[in-house]
Structure 1
Amino acid sequence: MGTPLCTTSYGAQGGADGGGFMPGSQGEGNAVAKRGYGSDNLRPVTIKQLLGAEHPNPDADYFMLDGNEMKQVTFVGQVRNISTQTTNVTYKLDDGTGTIEVKVWIDAEAMQNDEMDMGAGKKKPAEQGYARVWGRLKDFNNRRHVGATVIRPIEDPNEITYHLLEATVVHLHFTKGPLETQQANGGATNGHAAQQQITNGYSGGGGGGDSGDVLRMQGVSQMAKKMFACLKQTPQTNEGLHAQDIATRLGVEITEVKKASDELMGLGKVYTTVDDDTWALLDI
């Protein structure tokens, strides 16, 4: 029996024949390959991953991410700009890790049907609102964009956090291996030790009192370590902490906090939430 299609409460599942994107759902066996889908699965990503994915050659219809083929993708982001042209509508999306253009090509008949749907209450993405995209990454004239098959506004803010966590889980699956493999290789013991370090960081243990002990991050500035520890140890909502709040708690200038945030975002440790100066941890 093949692995069942993975679905979520936000409808972020693969196509009925293409397979889901969660770890373990890639290899449906020869039956899928015979239908011509193969690795044409749906993967949750961040914009930074899209911009950093490798393109094997100009004629390839896929990209490589974490050593695996990536064709169809889904991601979320805030709509910074909407530009309507004769042939397409271009959305500029920002998810805190980067920005990318999303193009929705206009079909006259589909547009007429869409206008009828709008009259029935169907919503479209709006500037400064959040949206989820399904589509394919494209590279045209050395500039990347996503050709969207679907783009819809996000109404539940939990979907944003859910997606970022899910993208992280899938990334770890491909870079660290499936959980079963890690356990078979003794990874469970190492994972327990790492979890204990995090627990010590929360409680102020771990010795030395240095905020860097939270994760013992190597090659990271002291300011970034302090900001990371502040975010981890301060009670907060899903929105995280604002730069001014962090600066006040640490007794530093807000410019130092923003510099540290750039460092942590580059490491994939934090992401922006309600605005560009409010961060939450992307650490599970």
Structure 2
Amino acid sequence: MAYQGFSQSSGRTTSHRAVLPMTATVLPTTVSQLLSAAYIHSDTFTICDLELSQVSVVGIVRGYAPFVTNIQYSVDDMTGPPLKVMQWVNAEDCALMTSIPTGAYVKVIGSLVYYSGQRSLLAKDIRHIKDLNEITSHMLEVVQAQMQLFEKVFDVNMNTPAASLSGRLRGGHPEGMLPNGLSTTQGQVLQVIRRFSVHEHGISLCDLKRQLDSLMMMDIRTSLAVLLNEGHVFCTIDEHHFKSAVQ
């Protein structure tokens, strides 16, 4: 079954081979991907030759500014500079202006547009996220979508593919992958967590970032999502402390 992407700007339907973890018209993305998406014309953007219709982003609200006809949010998922998100409102929607506080996590579904010379996400829906599992879920969906779109194995940094699924092998494993099937970055995160698992509560996310100062926080969070999902690590006293399942 091919993924069907509908272009709002051109009104045509395009077919792609990948079957993606999304609804018929919503692609899970990061802010970095939207800011670097190829600009074709008008409000048409593409990622890996896939014409974007609606996309989803999960991030933190860094600030917002209410106007007469719209509210403009600054949403940051730590993969790049914050993205401007616009939501059109009318007089009956005034309650929206205080519904999402600064510092809250949100999930935004909308269309990428050029507005006042700047890329912005025109929001169809903005929802306050209270269950942090949704953040992990979105990260996994982004990784899976990119692997299927590019038909390659990616490191947690979506900008640099580790190896093609049909690419060369090194020591019986794809290049950039460890014997346990983890990427190099995931292996680094797991190694540090194992080292600190001797402590009662393991290692906190903040200490993990300090130990892996060369990695972006988004890479660490995405690696943690994979490690948790595959059972390599588990949470201890809260969702921000981790121990290795195997010492």
TM range (shorter): 0.5 to 0.7
Q: Matched residues in 2 for 1:77 and 1:242: separation?
A: 17
Q: In the alignment, which of 19, 32, 48 is matched to residue 48 of structure 1?
A: 32
1:270 aligns with 2:220: yes
The residue that corresponds to 2:178 in the other structure is 198
1:261 aligns with 2:222: no
Q: Secondary structure at the match of 1:135?
A: strand
Q: Give 1:149 shift.
A: 1.1
Instruction: Kindly report the root-mean-square deviation, in angstroms, between the aligned alpha carbons of the 2 structures.
Output: 4.2
TM-score (norm 1): 0.56
Q: Secondary structure at the match of 1:74?
A: strand
Call closer, same or farther: CA 1:171–1:196 in 2, change over 3 Å: closer
Q: Give the AA of the match of 2:220.
A: V
Call closer, same or farther: CA 1:38–1:241 in 2, change over 3 Å: farther
Q: In the alignment, which of 123, 137, 147 is matched to residue 148 of structure 1?
A: 123
Q: Matched residues in 1 for 2:137 and 2:165: separation?
A: 29
Structure 1 segment 85-164 matched on structure 2, within 5 A:
85-98=67-80, 99-108=82-91, 110-111=92-93, 115=95, 124-164=99-139
Per-residue Cα deviation, 1:37-58 (whole angstroms, up to 9, x for no partner): 624821110111111101113x
The residue that corresponds to 1:32 in the other structure is none
Per-residue Cα deviation, 1:218-272 (whole angstroms, up to 9, x for no partner): xxxxxx9856742577659xxx84343565xx6xxxxxx43x024x85xxx3348
Structure 1 segment 59-98 matched on structure 2, within 5 A:
59=42, 61-98=43-80
Q: Give 1:169 shift.
A: 0.5
Call closer, same or farther: CA 1:78–1:216 in 2, change over 3 Å: closer
**Larger relative contact order (Cα-Cα within 8 Å, sequence gap ≥ 6):** 2
Q: Secondary structure at the match of 1:96?
A: coil
Q: Give 1:173 shift.
A: 0.6
Aligned length: 199
Q: In the alignment, which of 150, 170, 181 is matched to residue 175 of structure 1?
A: 150
Q: Matched residues in 2 for 1:52 and 1:231: separation?
A: 32
Write 1 or 2 for the structure with the bigger share of strand.
Answer: 2
Write 1 or 2 for the structure with the bigger share of helix.
Answer: 1
TM-score (norm 2): 0.63
Q: Matched residues in 1 for 2:142 and 2:165: separation?
A: 25
Q: Give 1:147 shift.
A: 0.7
Q: Give 1:96 shift.
A: 1.8
Call closer, same or farther: CA 1:38–1:143 in 2, change over 3 Å: same
Percent identical among aligned pairs is: 25
Q: Matched residues in 2 for 1:145 and 1:196: separation?
A: 34
Per-residue Cα deviation, 1:1-51 (whole angstroms, up to 9, x for no partner): xx5xxxxxxxxxxxxxxxxxxxx43279xxxxxxx5624821110111111
Q: Give 1:187 shift.
A: 3.7
Q: Matched residues in 2 for 1:233 and 1:166: separation?
A: 29
Q: Which runs of 5+ in 2 are unaligned?
A: 15-23, 154-163, 231-247
Q: Give the AA of the match of 1:261.
A: L
Q: Matched residues in 1 for 2:29 and 2:106: separation?
A: 14
